[in-house]
Amino acid sequence: MAARHPAQLMAGIHALDALIGQAAEQPEHTYTFLFCDLLTDAVLAELPLQDVSYGYELNGIGAMRAFVPLNNETFPLDPINATTGGRTAVYVDRDGSILWGGIVWTRDPAKGGMQIQAAEFLSYYQHRYITQTLSTLLENVTANPALVPDGRRLYSDQKSLLWSLFRWSSIAAGGGIRIDINPLAGTGHGVSRVATYFGYERQELFALMKQLASADDGFDFGIEVGWNPVVNNVPPSRFRKAVSWYPRRGRAAADSGLVFSKGGPAANIVAYNWPEDYTAVADQVWAVGDGDGEARLIAGAADLDMLAAGWPLLESVQRYEGVTELATLQGHANADVNARSVADVAPWFDVLADGDPALGGYSVGDEATFTISDDPRFPDGLEAQLRIVSMDVNASKRPEIVRLTCVGV
């Protein structure tokens, strides 16, 4: 490797000094952790947690991990009953704003306490299944043709269809976990879908929601949490809102103005990695829907440009239970081949939570400009516009660090 010019070395040293200076100036934040009953949202306890991290995923389920000390300070708070898995909600409040909410699912004994792990509220729908046939087609629900929730017929607009799945899940005893679905009501996305979910197939609700969102011309979705406004001296309460974004969540790089840099005077990237995975690349995708034997519904899509450019034939098969319409299945195939025609490049960047931009100024779905300089892998530097698809906040580390995982735009 060629020797580095002294000017390059000095620039790197100055950038490092600036980053260290930023880290030293990071403010302290006040975190509060509320544990509540999942069904009623009644507060069970406010517990002091240690080694806390929490995260978000675009159209996915972010996790929270923490250590609960068991000692004379926490015993009066009844931490065992306040952290029971599967029926307890937990909220992460940072400086008076709820940034994360989810459900406790696991506890593991550890020296001096226990480790807990929670997942965002969408994880509840990984534990719910379609037990009655639901369909947008009237002929499939003739026994009860009324629209959900009175009947089994689903609204056809994809946004309304998502509302229908949430609404149907809340009908059963114990099935309502206080998710406000009003943001999904009203004007739809203008994209109609044909879908039938047969009760005998016992399909997972979250998987169906994700499948719906990932179709060609789909959408992004999630559950937002926060504090309701305090009025008339009523004790503060929290909200859980199901929301969708069409055609996508977040801002384009030109609109967000977000810039994260490694090297240079405005450096705010502490560490990064840029892995590449070609194992899922495909230039021919087969989408398989419902049906038996030779009558099974199949749609295909190919990336002819890749084949013409000299790529070998690389195939992938994706299965979509409950899809009975060829047009819907073709939409899935088109979306899949577009997603798989490039390598899985998901670089991550550790950035200062209180740098510029600061935590709260960006979210999953946003695009940002990432610049890398003074790195042997990119001798001429690198500037790329990437979309943030997951965020993980290390709340216990000083300075506070946010890991951003991204994909190409």
| 381: three-class secondary structure by DSSP | coil
Give dist(CA 235, CA 41) in Å, integer: 13
Is residue 105 within 8 A of residue 118, CB to CB? The reply is yes
Position of tokens 């047969």? 198
Does the pLDDT value for residue 11 go beyond 70? Answer: no
Who's near 62: CB < 8 A, 6+ residues apart? 54, 55, 56, 100, 102, 119, 120, 390, 391, 392
Q: Using alpha carbons only, what angle is made at residue 42 by residues 47 and 106, rounded to the nearest 5 degrees?
A: 55
Q: Whose CA is closest to 92, among 409, 391, 313?
A: 391
Give dist(CA 272, CA 240) in Å, integer: 33
167-205 per-position pLDDT tens digit: 999 999 999 999 999 999 999 999 999 999 999 999 999
pLDDT band at 22 (very low <50, low <70, confident <90, very high): low
Q: Whose CA is closest to 214, among 9, 389, 92, 12?
A: 389
- Domain coordinates in residue numbering, the chain: 31-125, 128-224, 253-275+346-408, 282-339
109-158 per-position pLDDT tens digit: 999 999 999 999 999 999 999 999 999 999 999 999 999 999 999 999 99
Query: Which residue type is seen at 321?
Result: E
Give the predicted TM-score (pTM) of the model. 0.86
Q: Whose CA is closest to 366, among 400, 404, 321?
A: 404
Separation in Å, CA 98 to CA 51, 226, 363: 18, 5, 14
Q: Percent of the chain scored above 70 by pLDDT? A: 94
Does the pLDDT value for residue 23 go beyond 70? Answer: no
pLDDT band at 374 (very low <50, low <70, confident <90, very high): confident
Residue 351's φ and ψ, nearest 5 degrees, are -125, 160
Give dist(CA 241, CA 391) in Å, integer: 20
pLDDT of residue 15: 44
Does the pLDDT value for residue 6 go beyond 60? Answer: no
Does the pLDDT value for residue 160 go beyond 70? Answer: yes
Domain 253-275+346-408 CATH superfamily: Baseplate protein-like domain - beta roll fold (2.30.300.10)
